[in-house]
Amino acid sequence: MLRGRGRGSGQCRLWAKVACRGTGGRQAGATLSSVVEVHAVCDVSEELVEAVHRLLPQLSGSAPLPSGAEIGEIVSSPATTLFVARDGGPAGPIIGMLTLVTFRLPTGVRAWVEDVVVDGSLRGRGTGEALTRAALELAGERGAVTVDLTSRPSREAANRLYQRLGFEPRETNVYRLKLPSGPVTD
């Protein structure tokens, strides 16, 4: 067991238990149940690290894979909650993940949804929606005034989902500055 909050099975509160819609892009011969459960992660296990390493490249081809210790930092931080979706219940395989970041600003509590990914062969079954609804529920419990997220235009199904859930495009510019790796020196 790696560093993280809590003890036991690697997950905490059950946030959602939903019946899946159809089979999505399921590969022939796969045996998957019709129920997906969403849990907040409390412990980091080798299974979780392997799942993150399998799912993250489906989201970003350039993001480095986090170590178990780095995933432990995410799980241990009071500002972040890592949700996982499991097929068939608490012992089923991890088929998706989402990170919710909540923080207080002078203007109120804010929340960001980040790194949402569902296994490519299992999309279209409602897993992304279940993950997002769990994050929205927790953000509300934490007093968030708003919940923001970004999604590439090429992720058409994800963009339709977010709009269906009530997210609206914002009139804003998003800027990014790539910092040099390592400490900044004078």
What tens digit of pLDDT does each residue of 10-45 get? 557 777 777 776 654 444 444 455 789 999 999 999
% of the chain at pLDDT higher than 90: 72
Q: Is 58 a domain residue? A: yes
What is the C-alpha to C-alpha distance for residues 161 and 132, in angstroms, rounded to an integer? 9
Structure tokens at 38: 């969403």
Give residue 182's pLDDT: 62
The answer to whether residue 119 sits within a structural domain is yes
Please state, in angstroms and rounded to a whole number, the distance separating the CA atoms of residues 37 and 11: 11
User: Does position 1 have pLDDT exceeding 50, yes or no?
Assistant: no
Q: In this model, does residue 8 exceed pLDDT 70?
A: no
Q: Which value, to the nearest 10 degrees, does the dihedral of the CA atoms of residues 46, 24, 162, 142 take?
A: -40
Which pLDDT score is estimated for 143? 97
Give me the domain span that covers residue 57. 11-164
CB 123, CB 24: distance < 8 Å: yes
Q: Is the pLDDT of residue 185 over 60?
A: no
Question: How many domains does one find in the chain?
Answer: 1
Q: Is the pLDDT reported for residue 158 higher than 70?
A: yes
Give the pTM.
Answer: 0.84
Q: Is residue 171 part of a domain?
A: no
In a domain, 5, yes or no: no
- Give a yes or no: residue 173 inside a domain: no
Question: Is 186 within a domain?
Answer: no
Q: Roughly how many angstroms between the first and final C-alpha of the chain, as a whole number?
A: 40
Answer whether residue 148 shows pLDDT above 60.
yes
CATH at residue 130: 3.40.630.30
CA 120 from chain center: how many Å?
14
DSSP per-residue letters across 73-86: HHHH-TTEEEEEEE
pLDDT at 19: 77
Residue 35 lies in a domain: yes
Least confident of 19-28, 44-53, 98-107, 168-177: 19-28
For residues 158 and 156, what is the distance between their CA atoms, to the nearest angstrom?
A: 5
